[in-house]
Amino acid sequence: MTADVTELDQTIGFTIPARHARGRLVRLGPVLDEILAAHAYPPAIERLLAEALTLTALIGSTLKDPLGQLTIQAQTQAGVVKLLVCDYRGGDLRGYVQFDGDRLAEAPEEPTLFALFGEGYLAITFDLAGTGERYQGIVPLDGETLAEAAESYFAQSEQIPTLINFGVARDRAGHHVAGGLLLQHLPEGEIGRERLHVRHDHPEWEHVAILGRTMGADELTDAAIPLETLIWRLFNEEEEVRVLARSDFRKGCRCDAVYIAGVLAKFTPEDRREMADEHGMINVDCAFCAKSFPVSAELAAP
């Protein structure tokens, strides 16, 4: 595997008009390294978060609202992983995992989704800044992998047949690389046509899904292969494939001392004094970037 920064931290979309399908490819590199480096997670948790960030990038980059936000949350009360949260806004990605280290030590080296979460749930939330609307779907964490759980979400909450593939690896220099493929069959739209939740045996979708399943993790994570080449490999026999504009990703934690001070300023002086330590400082920890922000209780005042 080789490294080409021009094919990392990017996404590209495409449509296949004759098949009533759309797709998106994502490949993460330095952004993934930066997010994971803040936490020193064990390998199984590191891989889980890499896949979750890839899923967040795949779905979040479909948002048409530039200020809209996608949040993916997986949670359980009794599993190894207590909470997984990732979000996307305007190209910014961030995420973190809370887990039980003792229970993880008892789990298999390559645990399934059930081994990590038990009977948990997956919530996907869209916050649209332009309209102020919020949409949320919640489904059980079914399947062996996070990709299968996300496919279940689209089938149950959106009635959209979906295929998702992930790949997570390290390049020759030891840097993280994650790739993802999202394929979806879309309603044809004309009045009188059968809706997808009524009929699920669409030959067009079955053809696209079969091709999508041939995309291997090694191809998704090989930064030497341009994303457009991956599209061509899958669908070069289609009469038309429309490739959409690329977009980039960045690590996007929104915490800083100024923002935190503004949040603390909403509390009463008495509440802030109770939060402060013996030196009059309020220490606020950010779970996303694993940093602590000490803010003076007096400076936090309005």
pLDDT digits (tens, 9 = 90+) for 15-27: 999 999 999 999 9
Where do the domains of the chain lie? Answer: 7-251, 257-296
Amino acid 279 reads H
Hey, what CATH class is 7-251 in?
Answer: alpha beta
Inter-residue long-range contacts of 32-39, CB under 8 Å, 24+ positions, other chains counted: 32/176, 32/177, 32/178, 33/175, 33/176, 34/251, 35/93, 35/94, 35/95, 35/251, 36/176, 38/288, 38/289, 38/290, 38/291, 39/96, 39/97, 39/290
Mean pLDDT over each residue of the chain, to the nearest integer: 87
Edge-to-edge strand ranges of the sheet holding 176-185: 162-170, 176-185, 21-28, 10-16, 242-248
CB burial readout 40-61, b (16+ within 10 A) else e: ebeebbbbbbbbbbbbbbbbbb
Kindly tell me if the per-residue pLDDT of 271 is higher than 50: yes
- Per cent of the chain over pLDDT 90 is 58
Interatomic CA distance for residues 11 and 28, integer angstroms: 9
**Does 301 have pLDDT greater than 80?**
no
Cα separation, 80 vs 96, in Å, equals 14
Q: What's the mean pLDDT in 202-228?
A: 93
Global pTM reads 0.86
CB-based contact 103:118 (threshold 8 Å) = no
Mean pLDDT, residues 265-283: 83
According to DSSP H, which parts of 250-291 are helical? 257-264, 269-275
Confidence band of 192 (pLDDT split at 50, 70, 90): very low
SS3 assignment, position 202: coil
